[in-house]
Amino acid sequence: MTLACDVGIKKIGLAAFVEGIVLPLDPILRQNRNQAAKELASVLYSRHITHLVVGLPSNDQATHEAHEMEKRIKHFIDLLEFQGEIIYINEDYTSIEAFRDTLHMKKQSRAKAQKDGKIDSLSACIILERYIESYNN
């Protein structure tokens, strides 16, 4: 099974590819790096994940912030000691796309989705869809 994650400083959005369908999962709310890594490792184990797709800022965003975020994400993933395949994929603009996907919602509901990490899991869905599209081409 394949899982995608959108690793952020406060939240980690998750999505799974289940029976040909990309589904958002409950996000991980980060209290600290070790707690978040432990929770993600638990998800990987309990769902029998063989492929982990991780969103990274592209090299096109050659800013100091993008480079630092890439280092943070890779360091975090290294904490997992995951034995399956790790695939890094461009996550540029996934948060914007995910936010657009919530425009049909009332403002209060959108704010709640941002706060509780649901938008981060929608971003993970987009990351996973990008991986599937690239894999199928």
Give the chain's end-to-end CA distance (angstroms, integer). Answer: 20
Give the Cα separation of 37 and 33 in Å (integer).
6
As averages over each run of 10 residues, the pLDDT of the chain (137 residues) reads 92 93 94 93 94 85 73 91 92 68 62 66 92 80
Q: What token pair was written down for 135?
A: 């894999």
Phi, psi (rounded to 5 degrees) for 87: -120, 125
- What is the residue-wise DSSP string for 52-78? EEEEE--TTS-SHHHHHHHHHHHHHHH
Helices (H) and strands (E) in the chain, counts: 5, 5
Predicted local distance difference test score (pLDDT) of residue 129: 92
Phi, psi (rounded to 5 degrees) for 6: -110, 100
Predicted local distance difference test score (pLDDT) of residue 32: 92
Predicted local distance difference test score (pLDDT) of residue 120: 87
Give the Cα separation of 124 and 55 in Å (integer).
8
Residues 6+ apart with CB under 8 A from 101: 122
Predicted local distance difference test score (pLDDT) of residue 68: 83
Global pTM value? 0.82
SS3 assignment, position 125: helix
Predicted local distance difference test score (pLDDT) of residue 114: 63
Predicted local distance difference test score (pLDDT) of residue 48: 94
Q: Domains in the chain, please, with CATH? A: 2-9+26-136 (3.30.420)
Taking each helix axis as running N to C, give the angle between helix 107-115 and helix 118-136, from 0 to 180 degrees, rounded to the nearest 10.
80
Predicted local distance difference test score (pLDDT) of residue 108: 66
Beta bridge partners of 22: 17
